[in-house]
Amino acid sequence: MTTLIINYTELRFTSEVEMTRYLSQTEEIWNEKVMAMLLESGLQRKTVTQIWNQSDQFKLGIIWEYESPDAFKKCQSIIAEEILPHAQRFGMVAKSFRGVPVLDWRGESGGLRRSNAPYKGIEESMDAEVLDQHPD
């Protein structure tokens, strides 16, 4: 499966307590209904990582992969409606970085192989207004 749109979101929490509270409520907020809606809309991957190489900071990173610019837009609408109302419950600041693959290596038998990233034309199909509205 080819990923056309990638988003990386950094969540910076005010304390370890806030980060732990967020993680403990993840299943409640990102429930099966929401995840099924996102999958149906084109989300290919969501991975949450704990950033550990910055001492005395409490951060999580989220990797998002979407199958198309349209999938990204659809998922942003779902997230705005279903998830963002919960965000204010936590002492955190979110910062998002969006991109399209320009170099891509995938694991295959025999090692990592570079594939041509299908990025051409993606930027033009992304609506700048939509991209700027949502933190994720």
pLDDT digits (tens, 9 = 90+) for 12-33: 999 999 999 999 999 999 999 9
Exposure pattern of 34-58 as b/e (b: 16+ CB <10 Å)? eeebbeebbbbebeeeeeeeeeeeb
Which residues are bridge partners to 13 per DSSP? 58, 92
H or E element that contains 33: helix 32-41
The answer as to CATH 3.30.450.40 being correct for domain 5-133 is no
Q: How confident is the model at residue 129 (pLDDT cuts 50, 70, 90)?
A: very low
Instruction: Report DSSP state, residue 51.
Output: E
Q: How confident is the model at residue 108 (pLDDT cuts 50, 70, 90)?
A: confident
Which residues are bridge partners to 8 per DSSP? 63, 97
d(CA 1, CA 3): 7
Domain ranges of the chain: 5-133
d(CA 36, CA 32): 6
Q: How confident is the model at residue 134 (pLDDT cuts 50, 70, 90)?
A: very low
